[in-house]
Structure 1
Amino acid sequence: MEFYAGLDVSLEATSVCVVNGEGTVLREAKLPSDSDAIELFLSEWGVRLKRVGLESFSFSAWLFAALDEKGLPVVCVETRHAKAAMSAMLNKTDRNDARGLAQLMRTGWFRAVHVKSREAQALRMLLAGRKAMLGQAIDLENMIRGLLRPFGLKVGQVSVGKFEARVRELVADAPALEAIIAPLLDARAAMRLQFAKLHRLALAAAQRDDAVRRMMTTPGVGAIVALTFRVTVDDPARFRKSATVGAHFGLTPRRYQSGETDRSGRISKCGDELTRAMLYEAAIAILTRIRRAFKLRLWGLRLMKKKGLKRAATAVARALAVLLHKIWVDGATFRYAAGMKRGRGRRIAQCA
C-alpha cells in the first residue's frame, strides 16, 4: 500500500494529512511550522511515504529544503494546481486544504515547482531590495515635486544628481518651505545612498557569474536584466527546449477553445513578474535606443510597424528570453552577424 501526505503550511502552524492509495484519510494533525516536528510526525508511524506535498509560497522554499535534507519525498506544488484541488472542498479550512493536497499527491494531477537554490534566493532578495529602494526614492521625489507645485515651484526635468540642488534653489527664498523640504531631501539622499550600495552588490554578483557576463553581450541586456533572468531560471536544465522559456514567463498569448469558439487573448502574465518586466524593458531598448542593426531588432521593427510598439516589444521580449537561455546552455555569446531561424511561428536570433 502506498501512502501520501499533504501539508497546508502557514508561518505559525502546519496542518498535516496522510492518506493511503485509495484516498482514505489515515492521520491528521496540526503542528508547529517546524521541519523537526513535521518529520517526527510523518516518520513515527513507521510507513514509507511516496510523496509529501506542500503549496508554493514564500515560506515553502525553506521548509522544502529542510524536509528534503531529512530524506522525505517532498514536492512543491504549483499554486494554481493546489487551488484547483482545494476548491473541491465545501469549506475552506486548513484541515481541508491539507486533505486536498494529500489527494493531489495521490492522484498525481499536479505540476511540481522548481525550488530555487539558496544562492539564487539570496540574489533574488538583493534584486527585490534594490528595486524596492529605488521605487521608494522615486516616490519621495515625486512627492516633493507635488508638494512644491501648489506654490508655483516647478522642479522640471533634472538629473538624479542635480535634483536636490534644484529643489533647494527653489525654496531658498521661502524659509517655511525650506524647513519642511529639508528633512525630505535628507531622507531621499539616504535612500539614494542605500540604493547605490545595493546596486553595486548586484553589479559585483553579475561580474562574478560567467553565464550572466555572456548574456550581457546581447544588445539591450545589462547586468540587472541578465542577473534577474539567471536568478529566476536558476537551473537551465529545467527547460528541455529554449522555446518554452517565453511561455514560462507569461509572454505567450492565452488561448480559449470550446466547440466552435477558438480565440487567442492577451499574454498570460504567469510566472515571475520582475523577470517579465526586465525582459520587456530590454526589448524596448532594442527597438528604440540601440542603433546598430541586427536580425532580432530588424524583425522587431518590422513587427512594430504592423502591430505597434507594445506588441512588438512583447514579441521581442519573448524571443529575448529564448535567446538568453540558448546563450546560457550553449556557452555562447551574442553575434551581430548571426542568422535567423524559424520556429513555431516566430523567428529568433541565433547565437554563436
Structure 2
Amino acid sequence: MKEITTLGIDLAKNIYQLHGVDRHGKSVLKKAISRAKLLETLANIPPCLVGIEACGGAHHWAREIGKLGHQVRIIAPQFVSPYRKSGKNDANDAEAICEAVARPNMRFVAIKAPEQQAALVVHRAREAIKAERTALINQIRGLLQEFGIVLPQGAATFSKRLVEVLEDSGMPLEAVGVFAELRGHLLRLEGRQADYDRRIARLAQDKTAQRLAEIPGVGPVTATAIVASVGDAKLFRNGRELAAWVGLVPKQSSSGGKTRLGRITKHGDSYLRTLFVQGAMTVILHLGEKTDPRSQWIRNLVARRGTQKAAVALAAKTVRTAWALMTREEHYRLAA
C-alpha cells in the first residue's frame, strides 16, 4: 500500500468507512471496518491527516486517534456536503470528508476535552429536567382549567398556589388525589433541578467562568456553558467570529456590491444563543434609571429598534465581550 497522507473516516455506530489518498490525491485505501478494529487499523497507518465529521462520539474518537500520532480535524457536516460527488452513502461520505479536510481554508471544530464534555453533560441534563418540569406545569394548568381554575403565570410559586387551590376547590376526591400526585412529581423535578444548579455553581468556581460572570446578563449557567462549549477562545480570530459561531450575526444576501443584511443566522449552538439572549433581555428589563454609557446605549437601541431586536444586539455584544475576557484573561470593566 502506498503511503497515506490524508484519511477520511465516516463514523457510525458499528461499521466505519475509511477513504485514504496519497500525496498526489490518488485513492489508495477504501475500506469498511468494525468499531472494534478502528484503532488497531489506524495504529498500522503512518501518522497522517485524519478528517472526521462532527457527530456523536466525534470528540472521543478525535482524542483516541490523536494519541496514535495522527493529526485529527473535525468538520461540520454542512462543510462536507459540497464535496460529496454523488449519492449519499458511507463510501461517498468518507471520500467527501477526505477531500474537505485537505482544503487550506476549511473551518474545523475544536476538539473538546473530557472535562468540557462532562460540564456540557450537566447542562444538557439540567435542560431536560427543566423542559420536563415546564411540560408538567402546563399539563396541570390544562387539567385545572377543566374545573374552571386558572392559576397566575410563573413557575416559582406554582406548587404553593396549587396547594392553596386544592384545599378549597370543591373538586371530587379522585381529581384532588391525581393533582396531589402530580404535585409530588413536580417537587421531585424541582429538587433534581436544584441539585444540578448546585453542580453548575461548583463548575462556576473556574477562574474563567468567574471573570465571565462579571459581565451584566451573564450568570453561572451562561458562564460555565460558554467555557465548556468554546474551550480555547483564541481559536477565533475576534469576537465577531465567536458571535457568528453562536449564530448572533446578521444573515447576508449580498451581490453586485450591495450589502443586504437580514435576520440573525441562527447557526451554531442554539443553547448558548438562548442563554445570551435571555440574559440580555434581563438586563434590558432591569435598566431602571441607570445613566452610565452602556445603559444609555441600550435604552436608545430599545427606543429605535424595539426590545427584542435590542436584546439580540446586546447578546451579540456580550458574546464579543466574553471573547475579549477569555483571550486576554482580564476582568470586566464598565466603560466610563
**Structure 2 length normalisation: TM-score?**
0.91
Alpha-carbon distance in structure 1 between the residues aligned to 2:8 and 2:243: 31
The number of equivalent residue pairs is 331
Q: 1:296 to 1:61 in 2, by over 3 A?
A: same
Alpha-carbon distance in structure 2 between the residues aligned to 1:174 and 1:312: 49
Question: Structure 1: where are the runs of 5+ without partners?
Answer: 340-352
1:117-196 matches, within 5 Å, as: 117-157=113-153, 159-169=157-167, 171=169, 173-196=171-194
CA RMSD between the two structures = 2.1
Q: Which residue of 1 aligns with 2:39?
A: 39
Shift of 1:106: 3.9
1:87-102 matches, within 5 Å, as: 89-102=85-98
Structure with higher strand content: 1
Shift of 1:39: 3.2
Alpha-carbon distance in structure 2 between the residues aligned to 1:157 and 1:256: 41
- Report whether the alignment pairs 1:114 with 2:116: no
1:1-352 matches, within 5 Å, as: 3-34=5-36, 37-44=37-44, 48-86=46-84, 89-108=85-104, 110-157=106-153, 159-169=157-167, 171=169, 173-206=171-204, 208-259=205-256, 262-291=259-288, 292-336=290-334, 338-339=335-336
Shift of 1:108: 4.0
Would you say the 8 A contact 2:159–2:183 is kept in 1? no
Alpha-carbon distance in structure 1 between the residues aligned to 2:333 and 2:87: 57
Q: 1:108 to 1:39 in 2, by over 3 A?
A: farther
Which residue identity is paired with 1:153? I
2:107 is paired with a residue of what secondary structure?
A: coil
Which residue identity is paired with 1:28? K
Would you say the 8 A contact 2:276–2:318 is kept in 1? yes
Q: Which residue of 2 aligns with 1:350?
A: none
Alpha-carbon distance in structure 1 between the residues aligned to 2:43 and 2:330: 47
Q: 1:189 to 1:335 in 2, by over 3 A?
A: same
Alpha-carbon distance in structure 2 between the residues aligned to 1:76 and 1:82: 10
The percent of aligned pairs where both chains have the same amino acid is 23
2:48 is paired with a residue of what secondary structure?
A: strand
Which residue identity is paired with 2:98? A
Shift of 1:67: 0.7
Would you say the 8 A contact 1:5–1:49 is kept in 2? no
Q: Which residue of 2 aligns with 1:345?
A: none
1:75 is paired with a residue of what secondary structure?
A: strand
Shift of 1:219: 2.1
Which residue identity is paired with 1:50? C
Shift of 1:23: 3.1
Alpha-carbon distance in structure 2 between the residues aligned to 1:17 and 1:330: 41
Alpha-carbon distance in structure 2 between the residues aligned to 1:236 and 1:109: 19
Shift of 1:316: 0.7
Alpha-carbon distance in structure 1 between the residues aligned to 2:31 and 2:244: 39
**Structure 1 length normalisation: TM-score?**
0.87
Q: 1:57 to 1:151 in 2, by over 3 A?
A: same
Q: 1:294 to 1:326 in 2, by over 3 A?
A: farther
